[in-house]
Structure 1
Amino acid sequence: MTAPRAVGVRLPYGSVPAAVHAWVEHELGSPVVATSEQVGGMSPGCATRLTCADGTRAFVKAVGTGLNPDTPGLFRREVGVLDAIGEHELWARLLASYDDGEWVALLIEDVEGRHPDFTDTAELEAVLAGTDRLSAVLQERDVPETVDLVDVAFVLRKWADCLATLDDAPAEAPVPAWLRADPFGWADVLREHADRPMPHVVHWDIRVDNLLRRPGGDLVFVDWGAAARGPAWADPLLARLERVDEAWFDDSITTSPALREAGDEVVTAFLAGFGAHLAVRSVLAVDVNLPTLKDFRIRESRRMLGAVARRTGR
């Protein structure tokens, strides 16, 4: 079975403030009698499946600024996005949200299911088809400009700047020497794509940690804290990163209409920019209460830059 790539150190539900507990039980209408902590993802807050005395089930995620100053903002974005896109079988329904300025919490439909197994061909194909369907559905949703979304154009430009300045990056950054001069001009490719219109909402964080497969096989996309405005090829590409270190990845690009239209060059530039950014961040970033994030960055960077080397014969 494919295991979550991102596994952090989370606060258990029992350590969440009493005010959040009281809000949860008020919203659910019954006292919580059983909890099951979840491990995927990097947030230091709780991620807990709840069962109430009357049998009601829900999923709660909660975090405070004292745990990490940035994570509450991701939770607020998720609330805004789920409110804006409404309900659909492709994502878990938002039941209620809490925000006292310090702590932010979401009550979400508890999805019965498990993470899909990317080593199973049928399940992997279902993920890719589900991602294409998600992209089509999101293009039909009218999300106001007032909703806080990540700007993928800004991200691509940031990665381009990273590639263009790798010669000045710390020597200990795990970047291959041949990449430091950006020999293929990928910074320019990323900037050119950043200048293109990006009218669509994209999930922007599709990985096995954020996917659930219901017993009947239907796919559910969870964790919308990184939702963005970006190109149509973004989510199909992210859905394939689980196996970016295999030749399968290169072959699979042709099975996505959006990726075929975007072209191989931007796929490789994306991997180079993302991988280089993660590598540099692994030696420069200061992560509050995220003890596993540095190793995650190094592992993911190695996988992506390894794929770049494979795709270019380096």
Structure 2
Amino acid sequence: MRKIVVLGCGFLGNKLIDSFLGDPATTIVGFDRNVPGQSHDRVQYVQGSFASGYDFASLVRGADLVIHLVSTSVPGTEKRSLDEIQANVIPSVELFDACMAEGVGRLVFLSSGGTVYGSSPYRANRETDPPAPYNTYGLQKVMIEQALQLTAHYGDMQYQIIRLSNPYGPGQNPHGPLGLVTKLVYQAVNHETIHIFGDGSVVRDFIYIDDAIQGILDIIARGTVNTIYNLGRGTGASVAEVTAAIERIVPERIIIDHEPARKVDIPYSVLDIAKYRQITSLRRFISLEEGIRRTYAFFTESRQ
């Protein structure tokens, strides 16, 4: 039996756990501050706080693969640099040390493709581009990446770092700070005013959740170890283009309110995914329009 430990049972974590259940030779441990109420005979949920001093050794004991998805903040809610380091970087280093001590074969860290590169000259960011985080959330991601690389350098544990862009779709909390596309579709379905910062010219790389999960699985199964992969669609869409697509697809009347632009929003962030394309199992990515249709269908059917 292969044992996988997933730290973080949110949007991505739960989808990953579901995907691993397709292999009957795999058992899964899911760790989070809040764990799902449902159970499965091959999933054990462990409730705990991702914090310095936690017994990570017991959590990862016997694991073949550990996937680190936890962050105590998200873009827009980040704290001072010192707070981010204490809340995210130090526990991550303790986790890495525990994995090394317990003989974990590989650790996969989900980093941020949207915040570690900083402002680009209107071209897609490559894995070889130097990090230039523009907020403390990106800073802690870069520090964790480097701590993982350094830890693995002095041992036998393999690692993979995945810089994910902006996943969206069914299962994402439409009331949370992440998931612009999910949030806007939900607001349209429920006749809520859509608030846009600035003129809508900010460009991001949006990837539908099914493609994001398959991309993570591809990198684990087919990717090179001890390296970094960008994961997105590799195509940018402005906020204005997203809202225009929603207006075309969603039959409800859309109400848009423009608010002052925010300094934290860099104008352009798109990922170069040439490296991932070399190993992908996807024949094509789900288009933004199709992703909006699927998300709209989910909200109208479930009426959340």
Instruction: Provide the TM-score with structure 2 as the length reference.
Output: 0.29
Which of the pair is proportionally richer in helix? 1
Q: As a proportion of its length, which structure holds more strand?
A: 2
